[in-house]
Amino acid sequence: MLEGSLGMSFHSTNSWPICTENLEKIRTRCRTRRKQYEGQLSLSPTDARGNPPEARDGSGSSSAPQRHTLPNALLGRGNTVGIIGGPSVHSTLVFLEKLVLWSSKGGEEGVPFVVCSDPALKKDLSLSSPLHSSRRRNVCSELNKDAVIENLRRKRAILEDAGAGCMVMPCHLCHVWYEEVSGGCALPFPHVGECVARELKRAKLKPLEAGSDVRIGLLATEAVLMSGFYQEQLQRQGFEVVLPDKATMDNIYIPAVEAFRRKDIEGAQNLLRIAIQILLIRAANTVVLASDEMQGLLPRDDPLLKKSIDPMDALARSAIAWAKSKRKKPT
């Protein structure tokens, strides 16, 4: 696995199809492609937390975030999308697949983008066993908040210097600190919760029960649920948010994630189906699956997929719409 901050430039000729197999096959293919592109990556030396060496003072302690210019400017086009990778490289690559394929439909040129990915971010998140610890105390308070924010802000600066004109952060957990990471950024920086909420609003859903608001179910990790940013964005659009109760989290959702992590895919799929059904029974029109572990878990022909939505799809569509709106028209 590559370590450090990676600046990557892809073009439409390098695009690969969206994977529709189960999650393990997706993970294998993503690892293979990451190795294939290793020789094409522009590396910026970093310390264990992804900080550029000149951002440290003589005492060895981290200083305030500074601008860090890459040795070679990767992209200078005004419609370049900058992607701040989260702790899961796999999730970042799945997002890139969507960005490349969807933006190049019909033979169009794919949108330019640059990525900054740092797997070492997992160390700062300290999430070796987040699901169990969340039952005892507030998950967010256990995370190394300052180190995470510093890490993400430095990567934002690297992307800005690389020529990005828009920022996206395809990670549910990192959006817990969206305000701190995006603060002071002069570039468009779409929020995943706002993107999915707006898409649902445009769908003009009708309430399933007379006299009530449209209800949207939400499945996510404890940390994301407790942060409340998805609930806030959905409620701003007039939706009532349906959350899993403690019994559903403890007996269905958490065991589903545990089954997935021990590679019991069938068991994880069955438990996820039950969790979705529980929210649908409570008159939810659709269920937002805001979890990396649940991404691509159900087969594409599963009828429950028509009743659920991946927020990262909305974020990808938002980034593509922005990039195409900024694309220079031929003279």
Domains and CATH numbers, the chain: 5-191+315-326 (3.40.50.1860), 194-310 (3.40.50.1860)
82 is written with which tokens? 């900058």
Band (pLDDT 50/70/90 cuts) for residue 178 is very high
**What is the pLDDT, as a whole number, of residue 329?**
54
pLDDT (average), residues 110-120: 88
Residue 292: pLDDT over 80: yes
**What is the pLDDT, as a whole number, of residue 147?**
87
Band (pLDDT 50/70/90 cuts) for residue 164 is very high
pLDDT tens sequence across 91-103: 999 999 999 999 9
**Residue 126: Cβ within 10 Å count:** 14
Q: What is the largest CA-CA distance in the chain?
A: 66
Residue 50: pLDDT over 70: no
Residue 143: pLDDT over 60: no
**What is the pLDDT, as a whole number, of residue 123?**
72
pLDDT tens sequence across 226-248: 999 999 999 999 999 999 999 99
pLDDT tens sequence across 10-46: 333 233 334 434 445 444 554 554 444 333 333 333 4
Residue 114: pLDDT over 90: yes
What is the share, in percent, of the chain residues with pLDDT greater than 70?
70
**What is the pLDDT, as a whole number, of residue 125?**
72
- Which has the higher per-residue pLDDT, 196 or 261? 196
